[in-house]
Amino acid sequence: MQMKPGLVQMKMTADPKQNLEHAITKIREAAAMGANTICLPELFLTPYFCQTEDASWFDTAEAVPGPTTVTLSEVARELEVVIIASLFEKRARGLYHNTAAVIDADGVVAGIYRKMHIPDDPGFYEKYYFTPGDLGPGVFDTRYGRIGVLVCWDQWYPEAARMTAMRGADLIVYPTAIGWQPEEKELFGKAQREAWIAVQRGHAVANGTYIAAINRVGTEHAKDGSGTIEFWGSSFLFDPIGKEVALAGCANEEILIGVVDTDRIECIRRAWPFWRDRRIDVYGELLERYGDR
């Protein structure tokens, strides 16, 4: 049984209920198109609220598993698809994570992953909301295959992709919320988008693993008027030699469908056996902050 990823690039409204309904509609569409492993963008229930630091957003967090996974579990069981859902997790009063739940095709939550690398930059104030994940890499066996989950900012870290691939992920998915800020777009926009694709394509090659990003699309304004993000879409699937299987546009909702061919992973890793030669005896300094001591 092959994994057939369905990558749902979507827009969000201000209304969580409406976003959930819309996501379920898109999951049904993806399943009808042949996908059996369907991934939604980062924090798909809400606007990207990290544009500001506002404590009222903590009201939208929930337990994971919790109400949303219960609803999505019914959809997963009905359609017999795996669903990867990125959620704002309330773990305890005052302790929140940016978490992805993997729901297996029988509706059972196979596991959760808590985003390990948390950004914090003007317009992306995530360190205010999310404690860095304490579960390590997230790799889960599902009915259709072994999937690894990382989230957005994790995608810039080769260490995260490597650890996830080391646990046997044939596909790594990155639910994402990344876009252009209007004041930067003209000067840096092209380079930013290309760098974002390039670094993840590199993970595919280095690890001999399928890599997918699932981004938001559309323009969102901060509630307090302090900023705007134009999410650049461009969701993609790369194969284990870094070949582009699918790439979405920058402006519209789209569903990308692909296939994870484990024979191809085997073939490519035999031709270029990078896994054979890692120098684990000298990698110790990767555990340092920097090489100046």
> Which residues contact a copy of itself by CB under 8 A?
116-119, 121, 132, 136-137, 139, 153, 156-163, 166-168, 188, 191-192, 194-195, 198-206, 241-243, 271-275, 277-280, 282-292
19 versus 234: smaller Cβ distance to a copy of itself: 234
Q: Which two tokens stand for residue 74?
A: 């019914």
In which residue are the tokens 């929930």 written? Answer: 62
Q: Which two tokens stand for residue 155?
A: 């995608």
> 223: phi > 0 → left, psi -120 to 50 → alpha, else beta; which?
alpha
Nearest approach in angstroms of CB 117 to a copy of itself is 5
Nearest approach in angstroms of CB 146 to a copy of itself is 11
Nearest approach in angstroms of CB 10 to a copy of itself is 25
Nearest approach in angstroms of CB 151 to a copy of itself is 13
Cβ 26 vs Cβ 32: under 8 Å: no
33 versus 198: smaller Cβ distance to a copy of itself: 198
65 versus 208: smaller Cβ distance to a copy of itself: 208
- The residues annotated as belonging to the active site are 42, 115, 152
- Angle at Cα 4 formed by Cα 41 and Cα 32, nearest 5°? 80
27 versus 102: smaller Cβ distance to a copy of itself: 102
Q: How many residues does the chain have?
A: 293
Helix residue ranges, H only, 80-149: 126-129
Nearest approach in angstroms of CB 138 to a copy of itself is 12
Helix residue ranges, H only, the chain: 16-32, 67-79, 126-129, 158-166, 182-207, 262-271
Give the DSSP per-residue string, 235-278: -EEE-TTS-EEEE--SSS-EEEE--B-HHHHHHHHHHS-GGGG-
- Angle at Cα 88 formed by Cα 22 and Cα 115, nearest 5°? 115
Nearest approach in angstroms of CB 202 to a copy of itself is 2
What's the CA gap between 244 and 78, in Å, rounded?
Answer: 31
1 versus 282: smaller Cβ distance to a copy of itself: 282
Q: What is the largest CA-CA distance in the chain?
A: 56
72 versus 211: smaller Cβ distance to a copy of itself: 211
